[in-house]
Structure 1
Amino acid sequence: MAVVTMRQLLESGVHFGHQTRRWNPKMKRFILTERNGIYIIDLEKTVQDIERTYDFVKETVAHGGTILFVGTKKQAQETIVEQATRVGMPYVTERWLGGMLTNFSTVHKRLQRLKELELVDFDDVASSGLTKKELLMMSREKEKLDRTLGGIRNMNKVPSAIWIVDTKKEHLAVAEAQKLNIPVVAILDTNCDPDEVDYRIPGNDDAIRSVSLLTRVVADAVAAGKIQRSGGEAATEEEPMPEWEREMLAKADAHDAAVAAQDAEAAPVQADAEAAPAQTEPSEAPVEPAEVAEPAADAQTEPAAEETPAESTDQA
C-alpha cells in the first residue's frame, strides 16, 4: 500500500513551486512544467522519493535512532510540534542556536540547567532562601531556555537524522548536520539545492497543508519504526499506529467476530444431533422379548388344530 496517494498530494498543493525567477537550476529534473509564472513539481518523482524516505526513517528508528524535527517558519511550527510530540521525538521550532549539533556538549549543560530550574518553586519565596529579584531572574532564565531548548529537553545525544522544512531558512542546521555526517531529510522546493539533502521530498515547503502532510508522513514512518523495534506490539499513545494499519486491524477483528458467530450458531445443532441416538437406544431394548415370545404362541395353536379332526370322527 502506498504511503501517500497522488490525490492527497494534489489536494494539499504539494506540486506548487516558486516563481520561475526564483529557482535553483539543480532542481530542473524535479520540475514538470510551468504555469502562470510558477513551476509545477513532478509528483511522480515526489511519490517515489516519499517511499524511499519513509523506508529510511522507519529503519533508522527501528534500530534505535532518533529523528530531530526542525521547522522555525510560521507555516511549520504548529505541525512540527504536533507530529514530533505524537511520536516522542525532539523538535526545534524557535531560532536555531549555533552549535546545537556541533557543540552539543555545551547545549547538554544548558538542558541540565533547564531541568534544575523546573524543580524550583518560584511562588514559595520563604522556603527558597532567595530574594524575590533572584527568583524573578531565575524564572526569566527558565522561560528563555524552555522557549529555545524545550523541544530537545530529552535529547541526550546528537540525532541519527534530521527532518527539515525549508533548507534555505534552516541553512545553519543543514551545515551542522553535514559537518557531523548526519543524514538530512527535507522538503525540496524549486529554490533549494538538492545536493545538500540526503533524502529529499520535492514539494511545496510554504503551504501549511503541504508541510502538514509531508511531516505527518515522516512521523508515521517514525511510529512504524518504533512498532518494528518493539517486536510488532500494539502501539501506545506515544507510539501511534498509522491509519492504514488501524483499518487493517479493524477488518481482521470483524472477520474473527463473524467466524465466532457462525461457530456459536452451529454448536446447538451439533449438540442435538449427538443427543438423538442416545434417546432412541433404550426404546429398542424391550422389543427383543416380544420377538422371543412369538414361537410359544405358535406352539399353543398347533395342538388345537390337531384336535379338530378327532372331534369330527367321534361325531361320525
Structure 2
Amino acid sequence: MKQTLQKMIQAGVHFGHPKDQWNPKMLPYIYKEKNGIHIIDIIQTWFYLKKISKFLEEACSQGKQILFVGTKKQASKIVEAVALDSNSFFVNERWLGGLLTNWTTIQKSIQKLNNLQKQENFQKFSKKEKVKLEKQKQRLEKYIGGLKNIKKPPDIVIIIGQQKELNAVKECRKLGIRTITLLDTNCNPLLADLFVPANDDSIASIKLIINEFSKSIKKGMTIWEQKKNS
C-alpha cells in the first residue's frame, strides 16, 4: 500500500480543482484544501482503485466487454494505448450522439469502415471518387476506429473526464450500462455507478489509474480464455 500511495503522490493523483470549481457532492472524498486547491483523500483513492480493479477482473473473467471513453487532450492517447493493450474498445476523439442509444446506425457505420479498409487504395474508382472515399474512411477511423471489432454494446464503460463526457454518461444510464468514472473534485458521484476519486486532468494520474484497470482487465480475460478452452 505504501509504495502505491507514493506512486500516486508522485503522479499528482491527489490534486483536485480550485475550491470555487468544486462539486459539493465530492466533499466525502476531499481530504483538505491547500492554497485554494482541494486535495483528494488519497487513502480513499487507493481503496476504490483496489475495489474497482477486483470488479474489472471478475467481470472480464465472465467475458464482459469494456469500452474506454476519454476525448479530452490529456486522456486521448492514453485511452487508445490502454484499450489496445487490454484488447478493449475506445472512443478518444468525440462521442457521437446516439453511439449507444442508436446502436443500429453505429453498427452500419462500423460495417462501412470495415468495408472501406478492405479495399486496396480504391483502385477501381475514379480519382474524384477515391478522394471522397479516402476522406470518408479517415473520418470514420478518427471517430469509431476504436470500435471496429465490437459486435454488441459494451458491458462496462470507463469514463475519463465526466464533465466532457456527459452525453456518454447519459446514454449509459438510459441503457443501464455500468460505468466506472475517474472522479475529480468538479465531478458528480451520483452520475457514476462505480468510481475512483482522482485527478482526471494530469496525464500521469490518468495513466497510473487506467494502467491498473488494464492489468485487471487482462487478468480477467486470461481466466475467461482458460474457461473457454477447458
TM-score (norm 1): 0.70
Q: Can you list the C-alpha shifts for 1:265-307, whole angstroms capped at 9, x where unaligned?
A: xxxxxxxxxxxxxxxxxxxxxxxxxxxxxxxxxxxxxxxxxxx
| Aligned residues with identical type, % of pairs | 37
Consecutive unaligned residues of structure 2, counting only runs of 5 or more, are none
Task: Find 1:231's aligned residue among 203, 221, 226.
Answer: 226
Across the aligned residues of Structure 1 and Structure 2, the Cα RMSD in angstroms comes to 1.4
CA gap 1:40/1:63 in 2 versus in 1, 3 angstroms: same
Could you tell me which residue of structure 2 aligns to residue 171 of structure 1?
166
Corresponding residue SS for 1:158: coil
Post-superposition offset of 1:59: 1.1
Q: Which amino acid aligns with 2:14?
A: H
Which structure is richer in relative contact order (CA contacts within 8 A, separation 6 or more)?
Answer: 2
Any residues of structure 2 matched to 1:109-148 within 5 Å, and which? 109-122=108-121, 124=123, 128=124, 130-148=125-143
TM-score when scaled to structure 2? 0.95
Distance 2:114 2:132 in 1: 16
Q: Which residue number in structure 1 is paired with residue 97 of structure 2? A: 98
Uncovered stretches (5+) of structure 1, i.e. residues with no partner: 233-316
Separation in 2 of the partners of 1:31 and 1:84? 29
Higher helix fraction (1 or 2): 1
Q: What amino acid maps onto 2:21 in structure 1? A: R
Conserved? CA contact 1:3–1:217, under 8 Å: no
- Pairing partner for 1:208 from 203, 207, 211: 203
**C-alpha contact (below 8 Å) 1:17/1:189 kept by paired residues:** yes
Cα distance change of structure 1 residues 112 and 4 upon mapping to structure 2, 3 Å threshold: farther
Instruction: State yes or no: 1:182 paired with 2:171.
Output: no
Distance in 1 (CA, whole Å) between partners of 2:8 and 2:91 is 25
Large movers: runs of 4+ above 6 Å: none
Q: Distance in 1 between matches of 2:121 and 2:225?
A: 40
- Quick one: which amino acid aligns to residue 190 of structure 2? D
How far did residue 226 of structure 1 move? Answer: 1.0
1:305 aligns with none
Counterpart check, 1:34 vs 2:70: no
Helix, strand or coil at the partner of 2:21: coil
TM-aligned CA distance change 1:212 to 1:3, over 3 Å: farther
| Secondary structure of the corresponding residue to residue 154 of structure 2 | coil
Greater fraction strand: 2
The structure whose Rg is larger is: 1
Q: What corresponds to 2:85 in structure 1?
A: 86
Tell me what 1:25 maps to.
24
Q: Structure 1 residues 10 and 3, CA, compared in 2 at 3 Å: closer, same or farther?
A: closer
